[in-house]
A and B are shown apart, each in its own frame.
Chain A
Amino acid sequence: MRRGRDEWVNLSAIRPSDIILMMEPTPELIEALRREEIEDARRLSVERKLALGGELFDYACTITLAGIRMQNSGVTEEKAYEILRQRLALGRRLEQMRAEMGV
């Protein structure tokens, strides 16, 4: 692995803690990702974005239900949806708690 112009690094000498340091996002990277996110949003029409919130919610429910079924083998559909509703209600309470804590 080449680090600089003439400096070579022995890959086997890299420790997990080094990788974590290398993956620390720089302010430049964060800003570049934010710009990209904004540009992507500008390219989408109002009509498309108006529908996205509901689509993302439905998709999140599908993934959460899959997780609930994996964690609770043999769970009925009715029970799986009941757990889903409990999780969504928990999410609302957590949001309220964060608002009250000012975070």
Chain B
Amino acid sequence: MTSNEIVFRVIEELERHGVPYMLVGSYSSNAFGIARSTQDADFVIEAGDRSLAPVFQALSPIIKFDPQMQLESVTMTLRFIGQVPVTGFKIELFLTSNDPHDQERFRRRKRYPFLTGHAFLPSPEDVLLQKMRWYVRAKRAKDLDDVQNVLAVQAGKLDLPYIRQWADRHGTRELFERLLTAVQGLQ
């Protein structure tokens, strides 16, 4: 089974159990930027009061989920981590938080074709905003690369006032303007 087929199975099970989701992280930045290899698929899910045990049970032949929820220290959100035993490919399910942007990006998610079905993704603007937050907090070079790539590929199509409004609230406005200027030099 390929990594994409495993991601697709996760989507199928979330939908079958009525759990709203969106595919975030490198899958979403690949979709709107320049694709790179990724060894994990991150989802944001709106579980509400539902137990995820049936989802984990249905996926257990291919993914081993730790039933214990973990606190993700960069965004202070709760997540479940699953791993494909053969390759170590990781599936992370982040629960939606009370963070206003987290709520807004979930509301704005859109459906795109994926393999033989579809996947919900955040908007390119929300991918940028979230990746900038990750970069500022975790200092991972790949997050900065992803931001620059999405900015360059989506140039001229982005809702800049929306990005600026949230970047001001996140304290990432200066970083955004710097990256935007650098990318505009390439156009």
A41 adjacent to chain B (CB < 8 Å): yes
A49 adjacent to chain B (CB < 8 Å): yes
A56 adjacent to chain B (CB < 8 Å): yes
Q: Check A56 against B35 for contact (C-beta < 8 Å).
A: yes
- Say whether, besides A81-B87, A84-B87, A95-B140, A50 and B38 are in contact (CB < 8 Å): no
The size bracket of the interface on B is 35 or more
B158 adjacent to chain A (CB < 8 Å): no
Bound-state CA distance A60–B140 (Å) is 21
Chain B 23-48 against A: per-residue CB contact (8 Å), 1 yes, 0 no? 10011001111111111010000000
Q: Check A84 against B3 for contact (C-beta < 8 Å).
A: no
- Chain B residue, CB-CB nearest to A91: B39
Name the segment of B51-59, B95-103, B113-121 touching the other chain: B113-121
B170 adjacent to chain A (CB < 8 Å): no
B residues 87-133 in Cβ contact with A at 8 Å: 87-89, 112-115, 119, 121
A1 adjacent to chain B (CB < 8 Å): no
- Say whether, besides A56-B36, A57-B38, A51 and B115 are in contact (CB < 8 Å): yes
Q: Name 8 A/B residue pairs within 8 A (Cβ), A-sorted.
A: A38-B186, A47-B112, A47-B114, A50-B31, A53-B35, A53-B36, A57-B37, A59-B37
